[in-house]
Structure 1
Amino acid sequence: MNKLLKPLVATLALLATGVQAETVGEVSTVFKLLGPNHKIVVEAFDDPKVEGVTCYLSRAKTGGIKGGLGLAEDRAEASIACRQVGPIRFREALEDGEEVFKERTSLVFKTMQVVRFFDEKRNTLVYMVYSDRLIEGSPQNSVTAIPILPWTKAVN
């Protein structure tokens, strides 16, 4: 395999693994005559190592012909909100800055990722979403925090 192909294959292999998000909803922002409209998509995923935590991502999805074919590059902006949805249990040891979600936002070189930190002093899980590229990433990011509290079911 030549020198240029090896990094490309390694990048594609990394992107093929990981947590899958499910679409919660979407709204069109720009009508496109050919291909799908530009949209804002809301997706949800569960933290793979922390039971009882679900994160919601809101991000732009490029439409048009390129977007419909998967060739467009989505914008770097994203918003995140993570919530406790049940008792919090750690399935495995956590690492600060550990990637918990990654999604391709261009054909090859750009990804959106969510990383997790544990703020031990405040007993809080902190999640950050950002976008990066093979060469240069973006400083745009969004952060959310979940205090680890006892879980009680609501009584009607």
Structure 2
Amino acid sequence: MTVKSLIAGAVLGSCLATAAAAEDPDLIFKKTTVWKFLSPDHKLGTYAIDDPDVEGVTCYFTVPEKGGWVGWLGLAEELSNASLSCRQVGPITFKRKTRQGDEAFSQRRSLIFKRMQIVRGCDAKRNVLVYLIYTDKIIEGSPENSTSSVPISPWGETTAPAKCSEWITG
């Protein structure tokens, strides 16, 4: 590796970290699951993220976070386990039209190869938003997943609530 490629990698990494920081979820709390003597503990982290395309919906998810020195340095490949709970927290307003399975949130779970995603869909028959959290890898995905649903209900409104089928298509 040349010095130029090392510098370019550092600049790219810095840019990606800055871009990711703008979309970081809100930390609600962390709970230690495995105590480590001289390094950071293994933990479960619970976070909240507002759906960027559907105002009035917040998703809460819990993911394992590796401790130890490898976890502290950000080099550990995180486990694929995740739980998800999404709720209506205000009047639901769609900001733009999207497609079934479009990404609402994504987060890196290893240095290069693994990514956790929260995607959204619409159960048109019941007017319910459906969210799925899962982890994928470049070579091999993971069956670990969790699903949550948000029935679209009136929120102090005198008009009928929005229909997800008018905003999320096929």
Residue 68 of structure 1 pairs with residue 72 of structure 2: yes
Residue identity over aligned pairs, in percent, reads 49
Residue 135 of structure 1 pairs with residue 145 of structure 2: no
Output the amino acid matched with 2:83: S
Aligned counterpart for 1:111 among listed residues 115, 126, 135: 115
Hey, what's the Cα distance between the residues in 1 that align with 2:114 and 2:140? 9
Aligned counterpart for 1:94 among listed residues 88, 94, 98: 98
Alignment of 1:22-61 (within 5 A): 22-61=26-65
Hey, what's the Cα distance between the residues in 2 that align with 1:118 and 1:21? 23
The CA deviation string for residues 121-156 of structure 1, in whole angstroms up to 9 with x for no partner, is 110000000001111110110000000010139xxx
What is the count of residue pairs matched by the alignment?
144
Hey, what's the Cα distance between the residues in 1 that align with 2:129 and 2:152? 7
Q: TM-score, normalised by structure 2?
A: 0.79
Runs of 4+ aligned structure 1 residues displaced above 6 Å come to: 12-15
Gaps of 5+ in 1: none
The CA deviation string for residues 45-85 of structure 1, in whole angstroms up to 9 with x for no partner, is 00000000000001100000000000011110000000000
| Superposed CA RMSD | 2.1
Hey, what's the Cα distance between the residues in 2 that align with 1:139 and 1:152? 39
SS of aligned partner of 2:70 = helix
